Every structure is written in C-alpha cells, then in structure tokens.
Amino acid sequence: MTKAAKKTPAKKSATKAVAARKIAASEPVSAKKASGKTKNPLAPERVHAIIDALDRTYPNATCALNHHNAWELLVATILSAQCTDVRVNMVTPALFHAYPTPHDMAQATPEAIQPIIASLSFFRMKAKSLVGAAKLVSEEFGGHVPQTMEEMLRIPGAARKTSNVVLGTWFGIPTGVVVDTHVLRLSRRLELTTNDDAVKVERDLMQIIPQDHWISFSHELIYHGRQTCEARKPKCADCSLETLCNSSDKTWASH
C-alpha cells in the first residue's frame, strides 16, 4: 500500500463523518412540537426515514461477538450480559478450545469454567448458566440450539435479548428486536418509545418497525450507539440521523 493510500484513524473518522452528514442532509427534518419533542415521532414516514438512514450508514452491520456456530453465539451472548463484546471476545477462544461442544461443556462444572471467564462481570453466575445451558441443549435438543423463542427461553441464561440475538443473527429468524443498552438509549432519544423497560421497549419497536427489518435495525442501532450516539456526549454533528432527532440532550443541531 502506498503512502498516499493509507488513512490514519483520524482521517477515516473524518471520512465517515462527511458521509454521515450527507446522509443526514438527504433525509427529511422532523418537526419539533417543543424543545426536545418531535411533532409526530411515530409517523410512518419518519420511522421509514430512520430505517433508511441506518441502512445507508451501516450496510454491513452484524453481531460483534465472534462465533462460528449457533452454540458459540449462544455462549458468547450469555457472557455478554453487563459486559462489552470486546471483553467477551477475549475469553471465548480459550473457552471454546476447552469445551468446543454443548456435550463437552455439559460435562464440566461451573468451578472449572470460572477461571477461564473470571475477567467478566458476574462470572460465577455466568459459569453456572453455561453449564445449565449445555446440559439442556445436549439432553433435550440433541446438541443443537433450538430455533423457536419458546424453546430458547427454556435455556438457562437465555432471556429474550439472548434468544433474539441467536435466532436473528445465526438462523435469520426475526422473532423480535434485540434491546440492549444502546438500543434502549437510542430508541428513547429518537422518541420511538417512552418506556425504559427492555421488554416494553421491544414491544413498542415491534409495532412500528417492519418485521423484515427487526434483525438489521437492532444491529445498526447498536453500531450507531457505539460509534456516534454515545451515552454521555453524542456526536450529533457527525450523525446520519441528526435531522430526524430532536432529543433534548443533543450537542449540535442543524435545524
């Protein structure tokens, strides 16, 4: 690669910011009713514009947890509770090497798994959940991760978020919308919900987001929350949703 072709992280960030501003400029403006409030936040055309902007900004968004099969994704997602994906990706290689299949992990004890995942939050509880999940998948599902929400919810450590991640990311089955801290925060900032309970937020999103976008919408919103719409200081000047957002904690506004 030539010197001219190389891009520093700062230049890459600047290029992304320029692209995001172009996307924002091409989308409609959400009219305000009052400071921090949109006139009609759930208008179908506004929801469509949000989906369109996210699709264009993150066309290849997918789950950031490293995995090679449904079982590895299930394990990684259970481990990701109250923990970053980066941290989970640091421990799963050793875990999968030691216990590559549900049957292998079902033979282990939580105490044997704990040292491998000790750098993660709530590692003792998670180790117990992993052994329980491995036993259930091995004994009741023949070693295969099930493909229905009802069956997934029987697995220790697999609530709706985990189940939606596995069913959507690996199997491509849109059973719901993954609601993590990013999706919850951004959904409230965009006024797509007024709830702060994950189950209620998911219900609200499922009513306004077309089902064929449930999987991609959550991935894209998670990417956006990590890269641009941060919790403490959102990078509104570099946001492809800026003209559509009237959040009261915006740091910059073009309208």
Q: Which residues are catalytic?
A: 161, 180
Instruction: With both helix axes pointing from N to C terminus, report the angle between 214-227 and 160-169 in degrees, rounded to the nearest 10.
Output: 110
- Among 148, 143, 199, 178, CA closest to 65: 178
Phi, psi angles (nearest 5°) of residue 97: -70, -40
**CA–CA distance, 202 with 177 (Å, rounded to integer):** 6
Please tell me what DSSP assigns to residue 28.
P
Phi, psi angles (nearest 5°) of residue 122: 55, 40
CB 241 within 8 A of CB 24: yes
